[in-house]
Amino acid sequence: MELRERITSATKQAMKDKATSRLSTLRLINAAFKDRDIAARAEGIDGGVADPELLAILAKMVKQRRESARTYEEGGRLDLAEAELSEIEVIEEFLPKPLSDNEIEAALDSAVAEVGASSIRDMGRVMGVLKSRYQGRMDFGAVGAKVKDRLSSAG
């Protein structure tokens, strides 16, 4: 089932179940998708954006909420941190299963070999390959550091 259909179905079920916090998060997801669709129309792209870009939006939403939860915890606002963490749980239901550390290492090896990366100057190309294949399945901030380390030692 397409990502938008899964979210619409989950929204309807949350309404039936009267799950207000879940429903609120699902509506935030739909609003983010609609915002991106509107921006895409302004760029001359009709028909809405495709699933890979929607997955990137979801991944960004998770990242924002993790940062907010950390900030709330540091500020002693555990109630707000809990709310952010519960939103993360709902959003992550629609993201593909994250790669394990071994799978990430294999993906790095594959991308470096495919691009023929030999120095830090090739980092952008390696990251481009990884992002095109593994959107929503790995933390590109953490992976970027690994790519940088690997290419620094290679070059």
Domain boundaries, the chain: 3-92, 101-154
pLDDT for res 91 = 94
d(CA 107, CA 120): 17
- Is-contact 65 24, C-beta < 8 A? no
Three-state SS at 116: coil
- Is-contact 112 152, C-beta < 8 A? no
Dihedral angle sign, alpha carbons of residues 36, 38, 39, 45: positive
pLDDT for res 51 = 81
pLDDT for res 30 = 95
- Is-contact 55 3, C-beta < 8 A? yes
d(CA 115, CA 135): 18
pLDDT for res 72 = 96
pLDDT for res 141 = 81
* Low pLDDT (below 50) residues in the chain: none
Least Cα distance to 72 among 56, 90, 87, 91 occurs for 87
d(CA 93, CA 112): 30
Can you name the CATH fold of 101-154? Answer: Arc Repressor Mutant, subunit A (1.10.10)
pTM: predicted TM-score of the whole model, two decimal places: 0.73
d(CA 27, CA 65): 15
CATH 3.10.129.10 fits 3-92, yes or no: no
Q: What tens digit of pLDDT does each residue of 30-41 get?
A: 999 999 999 988
Which tokens belong to 16?
A: 């039936």
pLDDT for res 154 = 62
pLDDT for res 155 = 55
